[in-house]
């Protein structure tokens, strides 16, 4: 049982960093939602605020690491052009060679083209929305801190941006999982 370099980086990108971001989202949203003086004590609010600050800052960093590894480490392997001889076809290559080129596998397998043309094309772009918006939310939480407890409008705006960051990451994560199933990076 072992993982190749490519499988290790793919797992780090999707199953460690990406999954960490998606899992932490629920905690962050609950933290923002419950910043209400009528629900908890002052001590409780201060404890939640510390946890929220640490959580959103970590999420923003994890989001950047996820898209950076995905785009600049894993994606080049995905889109690597196959060594098709002049005048030849991708499907002429031996099967064990074909499987090293996931993009070409998808585009040359009937019924799987849309996983690249729609799935990967959307995933590779929309994923970058997530760290940008997560950074904005992290800044607001870190800079305003306790003010978010009393400033409802700013708190709701932060929550909306947080949900948009999550939506982008969820789309990218879901499509990434399906694409990896359709043509694994090995």
Partner 1 sequence: MATIRYEREGGGKVDEIAWQAQELKVVERPNGPAAAAMIAGAIGVLVLGFLTTLNEASTDAHDFLEFWKSVGPLSGKTLIAVGAFLGSWLVLAPLLWRRNVALNTVLLVTAVLITGGFIGTFPKFFELFA
Interface with partner 1 by CB under 8 A: which residues? 37, 41-42, 45, 67, 71-72, 75-76, 79-80, 117-118, 121-122, 124-126, 128-129, 132-133, 135-136, 139-140, 143-144, 146-147, 149-151, 153-154, 157, 160-161, 164, 168
> ∠ CA(130), CA(142), CA(160), 5° rounding?
40
Nearer to partner 1, 94 or 167 (CB): 167
Token reading at 177: 């999982």
Nearer to partner 1, 2 or 38 (CB): 38
How many other CB atoms are there within 10 angstroms of residue 93's CB atom? 19
Read off φ and ψ for residue 101, nearest 5 degrees: -130, 75
Q: How far is the CB of 148 from partner 1 (least distance, A)?
A: 9
Q: How far is the CB of 17 from partner 1 (least distance, A)?
A: 16
63, 20 contact by CB (below 8 A): no
State the burial class of residue 88 (Cβ atoms within 10 Å of its Cβ: 0-12, 13-18, 19+).
Answer: exposed
CA dist 102 and 176 (Å) reads 12
Nearer to partner 1, 15 or 40 (CB): 40
How many other CB atoms are there within 10 angstroms of residue 156's CB atom? 13
Nearer to partner 1, 9 or 139 (CB): 139
Q: How far is the CB of 167 from partner 1 (least distance, A)?
A: 9
Nearer to partner 1, 12 or 134 (CB): 134
25, 162 contact by CB (below 8 A): yes
Q: How far is the CB of 100 from partner 1 (least distance, A)?
A: 15
């Amino acid at each position: 049982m072992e993982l190749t370099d490519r499988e290790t980086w793919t797992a780090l990108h999707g199953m460690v960093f990406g999954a960490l971001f998606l899992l932490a989202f629920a905690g962050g949203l609950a933290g923002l939602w419950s910043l209400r003086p009528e629900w908890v004590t002052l001590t409780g609010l201060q404890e939640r605020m510390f946890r929220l600050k640490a959580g959103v800052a970590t999420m923003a960093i994890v989001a950047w690491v996820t898209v950076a590894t995905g785009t600049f480490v894993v994606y080049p392997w995905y889109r690597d052009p196959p060594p098709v001889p002049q005048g030849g076809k991708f499907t002429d290559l031996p099967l064990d060679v074909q499987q090293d080129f996931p993009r070409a596998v998808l585009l040359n397998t009937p019924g799987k083209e849309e996983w690249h043309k729609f799935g990967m094309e959307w995933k590779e772009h929309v994923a970058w929305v997530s760290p940008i918006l997560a950074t904005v939310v992290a800044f607001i939480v870190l800079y305003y801190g306790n003010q978010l407890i009393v400033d409802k409008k700013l708190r709701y705006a932060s929550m909306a941006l947080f949900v948009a960051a999550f939506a982008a990451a969820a789309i990218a994560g879901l499509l990434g999982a399906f694409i990896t199933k359709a043509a694994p990076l090995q």
